[in-house]
Amino acid sequence: MNRAEVLGELEAALSKLPPIRAEQASHPMPHEYAGRLARVLTEQPEFKNDYWIRVGGTGSNFLPMFVAPKLIELAPLIGVNGAIDWLQRVLVPRRSDVWSVTEVYGLNAPEGGVMLSGGVKLIRPGDQPNTVNSRYFAQSIVSMRGGMIMPPTSIAIITFPNVEISGSQDLSTDDTQFHVFGQARRRTEDALLSFAGVVSSGWDLGRSWFDVNDQDIEHAIMGHSWTGSIPGAPLFIGNAEITSDIIAFSSAYLKLKGKLRRRLDIASRHLNSARLRRSLAEKAVETSIALEAMLGDDRFDLTYKLRLRAALIAAGGLEERKAISEVVKRLYGCRSSIVHGGTDTIAPEAGEAIEQAMVVCSTVIERIVQHGHEPDWSTVELSGGQRLA
C-alpha cells in the first residue's frame, strides 16, 4: 500500500470536515467526505479486488467504501498516522478468540448466566464482552419484534478460541470452522429448546453477530450483522424467568440423546412456535405437530391414540383425564377443519381449548423428560398410565 498517497488523501478529507462538537467523539457522517479517499484506496494492490476479513470461514466485506469512512472516524481519535497504522495492522493475519452473540427475546437469564448445550451460554444483556460491536448494536435501533420496539431479554453467546483471522480477496475456504460459525445460530436455537416444556410463553431470536477479542479487527467489522432479526416476527413474546428448577429441567433435557431427543426437539420447536403465533389456526396446527411428535407412532387411529396417551401421561384422576382427552379432541377438530376443510378461520371459543392443548403438550414434554426414556406405549396404555416403560 502506498502509505503516503493514502495519508495525503485522508488529510485532505479531514480538512473538509466541519468542526466536531464537544459531545461527539467523531464526525457523525464521515461517508459524505470519503469518496476521494475510497477511490485512492481502490487503486492500492490490497483492494484491487473485493477484500474480505475472514474470521475462521466467515467473511466481513472490507471494501474501500467501508474502509474510508472508518479512517475518517478514527483519525480524530488516534491521529492520521495512527489511522493508517490501524489499516496496515488489520491487513496482517493473526489469531484471536471470537464470540458468536445472539439476542434472545422472552427468556430472562439468571444472574451469572447458565451454560447450555453446544457451548451456548445464556447471559443477561450487558454481560457479554464489552466490544465495539456489542456497544454498536446496543446503541443502534433495537430489533423490531412484531411491530413493537423492545430490547432483548437475554444474550446467547458461544466462545470460539484461537480463531484464524486473515484478509483475502477470495472468500472460498475449506476451513472447517466455517461450518461451526455457520451453525452457531442453530446451535443457540437447539439449546434454548430445552426450556419449552417448563416455560409457559414463547421465546424468539433477534440479531446475531460475531465479536472478536482484537480491537483492530473490532473496528474493521463494527456494525456488521451476519444474521438479522427474523422478518414478520410474531407478536406474543413472553417474559419467562429462568429459575433453578427450569435450569435443572433443561440439564436433564440436554442429556437425552437419539430418537427421544429428536422427538423432543421437534415437539419443543413447534410448541414454542405455537406460543408465538398470532392466529388460532396457526396455533392449532403447530400444537398438533408437537403432540404428534411426542405421542404418535403411526397414522392408524392417530387422534384416539393422542387423546388416550396425553390423558394418561399428563393427568392422574379420571375426571382430569377425561378433560384432557376432550381438549385434544377439540384441538384435532380445529386441525381437521384447517388441513382438510380448506379454512383458516377458527371460532374464538375454540381458542381456550387450543391454549389448554399447549399446556397439555408442555406437561407431556416435562413428564417424558423426567422419565428419561422413550415411553413404551403398550405398557402405558395397559397400565393405565401408571408405568411409562
The per-residue pLDDT for range 38-63, each reduced to its tens digit, is 888 888 888 877 777 777 666 677 88
37, 105: one domain: no
Predicted pLDDT at 350: 82
Q: Is residue 187 part of a domain?
A: yes
Mean pLDDT in residue range 71-80: 87
Is residue 303 within 8 Å of residue 273, measured between CB atoms?
no
86, 121: one domain: no
287, 319: one domain: yes
Q: Which residue has the higher pLDDT, 19 or 364?
A: 364
Q: Is residue 139 part of a domain?
A: yes
236 pLDDT above the threshold of 70: no
Q: Is residue 230 part of a domain?
A: no
Q: Give 232's pLDDT tier (boundaries 50, 70, 90).
A: very low
% of the chain beyond a pLDDT of 90: 36
Mean pLDDT of the chain, nearest integer: 83
Is residue 137 within 8 Å of residue 163, measured between CB atoms?
no
Mean pLDDT in residue range 78-105: 90
Predicted pLDDT at 369: 95
Domain boundary residue among 43, 74, 90? 90
Classify strands 58-61 and 52-55 as parallel, antiparallel or unpaired: antiparallel
Q: Is residue 240 part of a domain?
A: no
265, 371: one domain: yes
360, 295: one domain: yes
Classify strands 240-241 and 107-108 as parallel, antiparallel or unpaired: parallel
Q: Is residue 302 part of a domain?
A: yes
155, 83: one domain: no
99 pLDDT above the threshold of 80: yes
364, 342: one domain: yes
106, 209: one domain: yes
Q: Give 135's pLDDT tier (boundaries 50, 70, 90).
A: confident
Domain boundary residue among 206, 221, 236? 221
Q: Which residue has the higher pLDDT, 336 or 329?
A: 329
Q: Is residue 231 part of a domain?
A: no
Q: Which residue has the higher pLDDT, 250 or 337?
A: 250
The 10s digit of each residue's pLDDT in 295-329 is 988 767 788 999 999 999 998 889 999 999 999 99
Give CA separation, 217 vs 247, 278, 335, in Å: 36, 41, 52
13 pLDDT above the threshold of 60: yes
285, 311: one domain: yes
Predicted pLDDT at 176: 47
367 pLDDT above the threshold of 90: yes
The residue range of the domain holding 73 is: 3-90
Predicted pLDDT at 89: 92
Domain boundary residue among 23, 56, 90? 90
265, 378: one domain: yes
The 10s digit of each residue's pLDDT in 276-295 is 888 888 899 999 999 999 99
Domain count, the chain: 3
Q: Quote the cell numbers at residue 267.
A: 415437539
295, 358: one domain: yes
Predicted pLDDT at 287: 95
Predicted pLDDT at 328: 93
Query: What is residue 30's DSSP assignment?
Result: G
382 pLDDT above the threshold of 80: yes
The 10s digit of each residue's pLDDT in 173-231 is 545 454 555 678 888 999 999 999 899 889 988 888 888 888 888 888 765 555 555 44
Amino acid 294 reads M
49, 140: one domain: no
Give one DSSP letter per residue of 95-137, joined into a string.
EEEEEEEEEEESEEPPTT-EE-GGGEEEE-TT-S---HHHHHH
Predicted pLDDT at 25: 47
Q: Is residue 172 part of a domain?
A: yes
pTM: 0.82
Q: Which residue has the higher pLDDT, 106 or 223?
A: 106
Predicted pLDDT at 388: 72
Is residue 252 within 8 Å of residue 216, measured between CB atoms?
no
Q: Is residue 246 part of a domain?
A: no
